[in-house]
Structure 1
Amino acid sequence: MKTRLRHFMELASANIWMVPSLFLIASVLIAFLNFYLDKTLFAQHVQFPKLFLYFNNSENIRTLLSVSASSILGVAGVSFSITIASLTLASQQFGSRLLRNFMMDRFNQLVLGVFIGTFLYCIMMLQFTSSMDLEKTTPLISMIGLLILIVTNLLMLVFFIHHTAVSIQAESVIADVNGSLQSQLNTFFPDKYTETEHLPESVTEHADDPFEGIDNYIYTKQSGYLQAIDMESLIAWVSDEDISLKLTVKPGDFLIKHSLIGVCLISDEQKEDFKKTISDPVNDRFLIGAKGTASQDPEFAVRQLVEVAVRALSPGINDPFTAITCIDRLGDNIAFLIDREFPSDQHFDEEGRLRLQTKPFTFEGIVEVSFNQIRQHGRADVSVTIRLLETMYCLTQQVRSQAQAEAIGVQVNAIYSACDENFKATKDRDDIETLYQKITALLEERFSKG
């Protein structure tokens, strides 16, 4: 249930209408509250100082409300136009999948919410003040609230223009995606040796695969991106049913209808109605949608950075500086993962029996997702190739295990092998050769197999 609720909240936060909708509701409540206070506190026309005489005239008040409503609606229209223009620009330069980040921008949602909320507040007050003379009410609190809203709207407009101009810059887009990536990595990969002592020891280190040779296959009922798995519910269910389950897919994978998603250990009695008792409950705990999400996929933001880099390397844009910035950010996050604990792919019940084995995220897999496409699309650019090797050299200095060294070594060899066919200048080849020799020598020195 918690997984589904978090998943719903993430999908809702990606919609630009969520915060403005809350502001519309709030504006109605505030309008009712202010007018109620005015009727309670100022039930009769009160003799105010000359500064407040304006609020005693119903015509003046209605004029102010009408002008404010029409003006704010015009400003809201301009803001919507600026937002759409920035989204179009971002889609062309950075890719349509990054529109999700712009739509989730809380400041943009806040500005639009304030504008349309103020408009609705004015409309509500126009209805209330129509009986002002009859009830002899002075809407002092309501009008002071309107003036505060107008000043707030003017300030918001200035900040919104500045924010939009900054947010569509390549550095800001990359920094925003990188911030999301770092937050995800902190969530998915705990600090080694401090947050994983409670986990049971992995049985695959000292036992054969218990699922080998099992043909109780589970297939997906629909196609789409696997957005999340309700792990808590799934583990509780397999424990109650006294079965063991191995998943062959992970969040972020695209599932083709009727494709394999898992295999399970079950009794002969449970095989009689396998589809209803096993396959359907497993499918019900898979959240599948038309697009990927970041809720359980740490590679989601990695792919966003890679997309920015690949688009920057396209002939139509040809911006290696943006690609190099993405490489720097990706290298920094890979270095972060070196000292992090990757979650166990095995889940046990209270008696220590293996109940669920998942398809894990690995260091090698994240390295490949980070650099494969950039390497392939940037193989003809000297500066990108050199920066890739420089990043690999920095990572080589920090790797802690043979598996990590091998993952870096695969990328280094793939980068170097493309140089023979693309770079003819002696200076470029010498720089690349020097970096390659330094990396291979360091890898051999630290992780010699001899």
Structure 2
Amino acid sequence: MARSASLLRMRTSFWYLPSFYGTFAFFLAIGTLFLDNYLLSSIDAENQIPAIFLSDINLSQIILSSIASSLLTMTTITFSTILVVLTTYLSEFSPRALQNFITDHSTQRVLGIFTAGFIYCIILLLFLKETTEDQLFLVPTFAVAIAILCLIVFVFFIQHVTTWIQVSNLLHNITVETMECMEELFEESDASIHDAPWDDWESQDISTKEPVTIMSKEPGYVQYIDVDALVKEAYDSDCIVRVERQQGDYINEHTPLLSVWGSGKKIDKDSFRALITVSIARAPLEDVEFGIRKVNEIGVRALSSGINDPSTAVHCIEQLGTLLSKLASMQGPQPYFNDKYRNLRVIVKTPEFFDYLDIAFSPIIRYGKTDIDVITSIIHVLKIISDHSPEFRKESIWKYTKHTIESIKDEIYFELEKERLNRCLKELCFSLGHGKEFERVWI
């Protein structure tokens, strides 16, 4: 089941974990003060607790103020480091890859722990007051423990940044995230029956009646489509809904979003429109295509004359092969959704497998077709995808193979390069079951 868009946006927000840790630190500081008063007010508590853990009011204030200022400095350095990483991502990789680092929970936890440590010390410093001349406090010991934890986290953050800034680790992270999204979105599709409208009585309604068109009220990207809520709303309104746009599409005002075939009941357009989230930026909310595009953009950027790094482009092609091999083994997104009585309620536009191939490889072919390593890598990856594909997928791969050959037919390669390319192409043709046509596509 798809999660709500608001929950997904909250979890990908930069302030989600830091806010949680900061709130927790506030209540922890209050609880620590009560615990301190409770323990030290007990009979002979000062004799049972080692003196090294106890401090008077002046020493406690010095310790807490020093730790608070140090943690604020560490937080500032962390923010500066994040800005350096973001600048590197913008110049070297892809602007879309920024989201992966910012929304990474390890990055957010580091900022959250630093924020929590600072808030903890400030709250203790605010409420720490002397009631008797010889009163001792235990809370500075807790603050020192938190400061040591923050120092360990800071070392971890430096190591984390040096790992993330490597393009291989970034590509791996995007690939893993996109594959998890595939498993979540397409798992039910594999086990479900795609109930086509032309197999049911609803086909007459769709083909003969004029639908009610629901338009968008704002421009932006289709960020999230709440299909489960659409099914429920369509059931309550006794209608059939067809979603006219796919997730990730850019729309303008008055762009058709939904077509609704009703039974005569009044259609509440605002209720249906509210189930499609439109935002000014495209976000990775259960969007497989967006993950593929991010890997593709890094590969295209690597082929630019300013960077000229074909090895990174080849690595991107290999990661795209991993994604599409996984996608090819699945049935794909579910286009038809029924209510609890198995009546068709929602029709969703879904991309063909050829569309995913085109999105993944065409820009790289366009800018890298002069590089034999790039082209042979694409042919090799298509062969790997073919090996993982059921028969009904192979026609799409064969169609894209012919498109690839047509794109590079005017390029001039050396004889050894042609032999290498034709060897990969021959393996691909036999894998697709078109070995007899190899001579026709020979380079």
Partner of 1:144: 141
State the partner residue of 1:372: 362
TM-superposed deviation, 1:419: 2.7
The within-5 A match list for 1:2-81 is: 6-43=4-41, 47-48=46-47, 52=51, 55-81=54-80
Report the secondary structure of 2:321's partner residue: helix
CA distance 1:362–1:202, shift in 2 (3 Å): same
Displacement of 1:128 in angstroms is: 2.6
Contiguous gaps of at least 5 residues in structure 2: 438-443
Query: 2:167 matched to 1:178?
Result: no
- From the superposition, tell whether residues 285 and 129 of structure 1 become closer, same or farther in structure 2 (CA, over 3 Å): closer
Aligned partner letter, 2:177: S
CA distance in 2, matches of 1:152, 1:327: 41
Give the match's secondary structure for 1:115: helix
For 1:420, the equivalent position in structure 2 comes to: 409
Q: 1:24 to 1:395 in 2, by over 3 A?
A: closer
Q: Quote the RMSD (CA, aligned, Å).
A: 2.7
d(CA) in 2 for partners of 1:236, 1:29: 41
User: Which amino acid in 1 is paired with 2:187?
Assistant: P
Query: Structure 2 matches for 1:306-321, cutoff 5 A?
Result: 306-321=296-311
Q: Is the 8 A contact 2:354 2:396 kept in 1?
A: yes
Equivalent residue number for residue 396 of structure 1? 386
String of CA shifts for 1:155-178, please: whole Å, max 9, x gaps: 111111111111110011001101
> What secondary structure does 2:160 align onto?
helix
Greater CA drift, 30-39 or 13-22: 13-22
Residue identity in the other structure for 1:418: S
Normalised TM-score (structure 1): 0.88
The alpha-carbon distance between structure 1 residues 388 and 204, as it changes in their structure 2 partners (threshold 3 A), is farther
- Is the contact between residue 57 and residue 137 of structure 2 (CA under 8 Å) also seen in structure 1? no
State the one-letter code of the partner of 2:418: R
Q: Quick check: 1:159 aligned with 2:153?
A: no
Instruction: Give how far 1:341 is off.
Output: 2.1
Structure 1: state its 5+ residue gaps: none
Q: CA offsets per residue over residues 23-67 of structure 1, 9 Å max, x none? A: 221111111111111112213896548962573422122111121
* Matching residue within 196, 202, 218 for 2:196: 202
Return closer, same or farther for 1:97/1:46 CA change in 2, 3 Å cut-off. Answer: same
Q: 1:89 aligns to what?
A: 88
Q: How does 1:97-246 map to 2 (within 5 A)?
A: 97-133=96-132, 137-140=135-138, 142-190=139-187, 195-196=191-192, 199=193, 201-204=195-198, 210=204, 211-212=206-207, 214-216=209-211, 217-246=213-242
Cα distance in structure 2, aligned partners of 1:218 and 1:306:
34
Structure 2 CA distance for partners of 1:56 and 1:161, relative to 1, 3 Å:
closer
What's the secondary structure of 1:299's corresponding residue? helix
Instruction: Check the 8 A contact 1:379/1:415 in 2, yes or no.
Output: no
TM-score normalised according to structure 2 size: 0.89
User: In the superposition, relative to structure 1, how do residues 385 and 252 fare at CA in structure 2: closer, same or farther (>3 Å)?
Assistant: same
Q: Give the partner amino acid of 1:358.
A: V
> Which residue of 401, 417, 421 maps to 1:432?
421
Whether the 8 Å contact between 2:57 and 2:135 is mirrored in structure 1 is no
SS of corresponding position for 2:260: strand
Structure 2 residue identity aligned to 1:421: D
**Contact 1:46–1:138 at 8 Å: present in 2 too?**
no
Partner residue in 2 for 1:324: 314
Change (3 A) 1:207 1:324: farther
CA distance in 1, matches of 2:313, 2:199: 40
CA distance in 1, matches of 2:72, 2:243: 52
Q: Show CA shifts across 1:147-206 (max 9, x none).
A: 21111111111111111111110011001101101101111112786x33xx36434468
Q: Percent identity?
A: 22
Cα separation, 1, equivalents of 2:209 and 2:249: 23
Q: Compared with structure 1, are the counterparts of its residues 40 and 377 closer, same or farther at alpha carbon in structure 2 (3 Å cutoff)? A: same
